[in-house]
Amino acid sequence: MEKGNHELATFAGGCFWCMVKPFDEQPGIVSVVSGYTGGTTENPTYEQVCSETTGHYEAVQITYNPEIFPYEKLLELYWQQIDPTDPGGQFYDRGQSYQTAIFYHNEEQRQLAEESKQKLADSGVFTKPIVTQILPAKTFYPAETYHQDYYKKNPERYNAYQIGSGRKAFIRNHWGEKE
């Protein structure tokens, strides 16, 4: 596969641990990196981002081949991982760093994100307004090594977090059984 066939997608969906697995093993996905974006501090640490002083979101940056897994499919999968109606964070993770956002890398991504947001709003899946922001991509800083592929390195803690945070039940209630 040529490097030119790869594009970036960046999504904030609350705890980045929970945003890796759904994308990680899909066809056409080259990599999924947990990190921080949208803020003003250069090379922020996890502790700085959690302090809510940097303006960063916890996010994942996905390198993908759009010929195999188009951006529209990434958006569809993204919406099914979050509560897009919660302006204060995601599940029991509260604060700006856990808010949802789609960071677009070009005009086409912006348009597709806006269209998918409107389609979700019109679908009736949620009764409250969709508050997920669509923002221009900013510098993405990979998170510390121990955060990368958390679901593979710590499967028991990952599963306990998915259940304990309410994320797993929310996804099941809105989208059916997913794994």
pLDDT digits (tens, 9 = 90+) for 112-147: 999 999 999 999 999 999 999 999 999 999 999 999
Q: Give the rounded distance of the alpha carbon of 163 from its chain centre.
A: 18
**Residue 25 pLDDT:** 83
50 part of the active site: no
pLDDT > 90 fraction of the chain, expressed in percent and rounded:
93
pLDDT-above-70 percentage for the chain: 96
Note the CATH architecture for domain 3-174.
Answer: 2-Layer Sandwich (3.30)
Whether the pTM exceeds 0.75: the reply is: yes
Question: Does residue 27 contact residue 69 with C-beta atoms inside 8 Å?
Answer: yes
The CA distances from residue 68 to 6, 100, 141, 155, in Å, are: 10, 26, 26, 28
pLDDT score recorded for residue 176: 83
SS3 string of 54-100? CCCEEEEEEEECCCCCCHHHHHHHHHCCCCCCCCCEECCEECHHHCE
Catalytic position from the list 8, 9, 12, 15: 15
Asked if residue 177 has pLDDT above 80, the reply is no
Domain ranges of the chain: 3-174
Average pLDDT over residues 48-71: 96
pLDDT for position 2:
42
Please check the confidence at residue 1 and state whether its pLDDT lies above 50: no
Name the least confident of 21-25, 61-65, 109-113, 117-121.
21-25
End-to-end CA distance of the chain: 28
- Identity of the amino acid at 156: E
